[in-house]
Structure 1
Amino acid sequence: MTTLLHQKELFVEYLQIEKNASSLTIEQYKNDIEGFFGFMTAENIHSLTEVDFSFIRVYLSTLHDKELSRRSISRKLSCLRSFYRFLERERYVTNNPFLNVRMPKSENPIPEFFYEEELEHLFEVSDLSSPLGQRNQAILELLYGTGMRVSECEQLEIKDVDFSLTTLLVRGKGRKERFIPFGSFAEEALKRYLKDGRNTLIKEEGASSRLFLNNRGGPLTARGIRTILDKMVKDAALTIDIHPHKLRHSFATHLLNGGADLRSVQELLGHEHLSSTQIYTHVTKDRLKDVYMNSHPRANK
């Protein structure tokens, strides 16, 4: 098992150094590989060279029995295919048994989003007289106002904010950089936080260049951001689930509903492929149908 662990560690180094993968992607890949190692041990397979197509079919059957979504299964297969491709390159294995494994057809679920009335309740819960309240409001305004990922928000530094152009420099997947504009509500919340709240939170001058700090003055983590959002929902007395991606979905959906074109939304979200952005058109099609049914004189008898 030491050899397996060593090969996994080499792959993680490859993801970090050569692929510039995000910390979230690396953590998911590590979990997927460790889960596969556990299955190998349970099936008395001790080397990656022993894995063949028939073994992979048994593995897939186990994943289906656990009622994992097709998206989760596809991610695990993609991870293991990349892992073997790396091992082939490094000559630890001579073939990639995952190459001929067919990916499950994607489910293309319609993304969940907030209605504008629900968001209004969230924007009213922060205590803007306290440093933490100012920070929380700035986080909420930025996540909804820019559609950035929580991992991108976590990595923001003060120097990434340009108030003269009202834009943020954001580092996305694969460390790809893009500029995102932000509006007047986010600008007001950010200026308030930087002028007052952040100066109170930071314990030592120059201790951290990160934009968002925790209550101890250190960098705020992605988990910390999720905890903040959960508390805001609870304080707003809303009976809805929240996750940072729901704010990202809301950003895209509301832009498209307001008339933005798909290519612009793709650029703002940092999607490499337009197909990733097209999931939001399902939502806007429903709205277009409602508008048509309520507006066109020949829509209803």
Structure 2
Amino acid sequence: MSTVEGARVSETLTHATRAYLDHLAVERGLAPNTLAAYRRDLGRYLAFLDGLGHRNPADVTAADVAAYAGALRTGDDHGPALAESSAARGVVAVRGLHKFWLREGRVERDAAGEIAPPAPPLRLPKAVPLDRVEALLAAAGAADPPFGLRDRALLELLYGTGARISEAVGLDIDDVDLTARTVVLSGKGGKQRVVPVGSYAAEAVGAYLGRGRSDLVGNGRGGPALFLNARGGRLSRQSGWTVLGSAAKRAQLTEPMSPHTLRHSFATHLLDGGADVRVVQELLGHASVTTTQVYTLVTIDRLREVYAASHPRALD
């Protein structure tokens, strides 16, 4: 018998698992901390297999792997119950081990091939209340000109259209029609959609085009890009993040902010206001309404507030 991270198992299983860990370290180049996590996860797995009386990789069945995946969530003699993310990592480690054993000819079938990691918990988008969005937009406009005009226009357009940051910085001047108050956004896969532009965003973009962009063009060779950097070139995604971060800091916002936060807020505020989910789907450029429906879960908090305040039998 031998030991891997405290798991006393057969020499055959130990050797076969160490070969996989060596593969991860040498050929895959995993970071030391990641490798240590794999070693701990597989040590627990080997202890579990030893408890079943298994001595060779070929002894392991799909039912064994499934039972181990369940034990990670419930806890057993070999370790405590794990959170879903940690349990998922443990199953991924086991799947990789069995795939390696199959490739190396140690087994004739992959016992873990059909065992899926636990599904991660649904992470609801975080929407920012309107008053904080307004504080953010005002702070963006407080930057020194011409950057204040550009930054306010960029953030107003992100929140006013639900655009991804890549879509916004990818805009050319001709993509924006301030007369019709529309913008043509190029989404994933090059698919284009026409989105209405609200009055606040249209005013901010108009002010930037009239009084700010020309100063930035003078620093470079010009070009069709709508949003320009200090050198007169197209603003990058990373610079768009910086614009938002600076405005959030200036507005003294404490919640985490990202361009996607504004996109989430755009969708959530529309639904709170009574918009149909399929309309929001089109505005966001989602291929499937299923992707958009996650935002309907966010608004349940608002529904509870209205229900508690309005229904005569809502109080405890």
With the length of structure 2 as denominator, give the TM-score of the two structures.
Answer: 0.64
Tell me: CA distance 1:141–1:238, structure 2 relative to 1, closer, same or farther (3 Å).
Answer: same
Q: 1:124 aligns with which of 138, 154, 159?
A: 138
The alpha-carbon deviation at position 128 of structure 1 amounts to: 7.3
1:164 deviates by: 2.6
Q: Which residue of 2 aligns with 1:268?
A: 283
1:185 is aligned to 200
Cα distance in 2, alignment partners of residues 239 and 299 from structure 1: 33
Cα deviation for residue 42 of structure 1 reads 3.3
Q: Partners of 2:295 and 2:112 in 1: how far apart? A: 31
Label 1:135 to 1:107 Cα distance change in 2 as closer, same or farther (>3 A): same
Alignment of 1:102-117 (within 5 A): 102=116, 104-117=118-131
What is the DSSP-based 3-state SS (H/G/I as helix, E as strand, rest coil) of the residue aligned with 1:124?
helix
Gaps of at least 5 residues in structure 1 are 1-38, 47-57, 77-96
Task: Provide the rounded CA distance (Å) in 2 between the counterparts of 1:174 and 1:266.
Answer: 16
Q: Residues 130 and 287 (structure 1 numbering): CA distance in 2 closer, same or farther, change over 3 Å?
A: same
Q: 2:282 is paired with a residue of what secondary structure? A: helix
- Offset of residue 274 of structure 1: 1.3
Q: In structure 2, do the counterparts of structure 1 residues 204 and 181 end up closer, same or farther at CA, with 3 Å as the change threshold?
A: same
Match of 1:42 in 2: 24
1: CA distance, partners of 2:175 / 2:22: 45
Q: Give the corresponding residue for 1:241.
A: 256
Counterpart code for 1:251: F
Note the alpha carbon deviations across 1:176-217, whole angstroms, 9 max, x for none. 111111100001001110111001101378622111001111
CA distance in 2 between counterparts of 1:104 and 1:68 reads 6
1:240-270 CA-partner distances (Å, limit 9, x unpaired): 2211110000000000000001000011111
Classify the secondary structure of the residue corresponding to 1:169.
strand
Q: Of 190, 205, 226, which residue of structure 1 is paired with 2:241?
A: 226
Question: Which structure is higher in RCO with an 8 Å CA cutoff and minimum separation 6?
Answer: 1
- Partner Cα separation in structure 2 for residue 105 and residue 198 of structure 1: 47
1:213 and 1:205, CA in 2 relative to 1: closer, same or farther beyond 3 A? Answer: closer
Deviation, structure 1 residue 123: 2.1
Deviations 1:86-111 (A, max 9, x none): xxxxxxxxxxx998563541421111
Secondary structure of 2:309's counterpart equals: helix
Residue 165 of structure 1 and its aligned partner are, at CA, apart by 1.9
Indicate the percent of aligned positions where both proteins have the same amino acid: 43
Structure 1's 106 and 176: CA in aligned 2 closer, same or farther, altered over 3 A?
Answer: farther
In the TM superposition, 1:1-301 aligns within 5 A as: 42-45=24-27, 100=114, 102=116, 104-125=118-139, 126-127=141-142, 130-203=145-218, 207-300=222-315
Q: How many residues align?
A: 229
Distance in 1, matches of 2:23 and 2:84, equals 21
Q: Distance in 1 between matches of 2:295 and 2:149?
A: 31
Secondary structure of 2:293's aligned partner = helix
Paired with 2:205 and 2:219, the residues of 1 have a C-alpha distance of: 20
Q: Return closer, same or farther for 1:221/1:298 CA change in 2, 3 Å cut-off.
A: same
| Matches of 2:233 and 2:244, distance apart in 1 | 19
Q: Structure 2: which 5+ runs fail to align?
A: 1-20, 29-37, 43-71, 73-82, 93-110
1 CA distance for matches of 2:180 and 2:284?
Answer: 19
Tell me the amino acid that sits aligned with residue 177 of structure 1.
Q
Report which of the two structures shows the higher radius of gyration computed on alpha carbons.
Answer: 2
**Alpha-carbon separation, structure 2, partners of 1:281 and 1:246:** 16
Structure 1 residues 102, 228: closer, same or farther in 2, change over 3 A?
same
Q: Which amino acid aligns with 2:119?
A: K
Aligned Cα RMSD in Å?
3.2
Deviations, residues 72-99 of structure 1 (Å, cap 9, x unaligned): 98xx9xxxxxxxxxxxxxxxxxxxx998
Amino acid at match of 2:24: A
Q: Which amino acid aligns with 1:244?
A: P
Deviation at 1:133, TM superposition (A): 0.3
Q: Distance in 2 between matches of 1:98 and 1:217?
A: 54
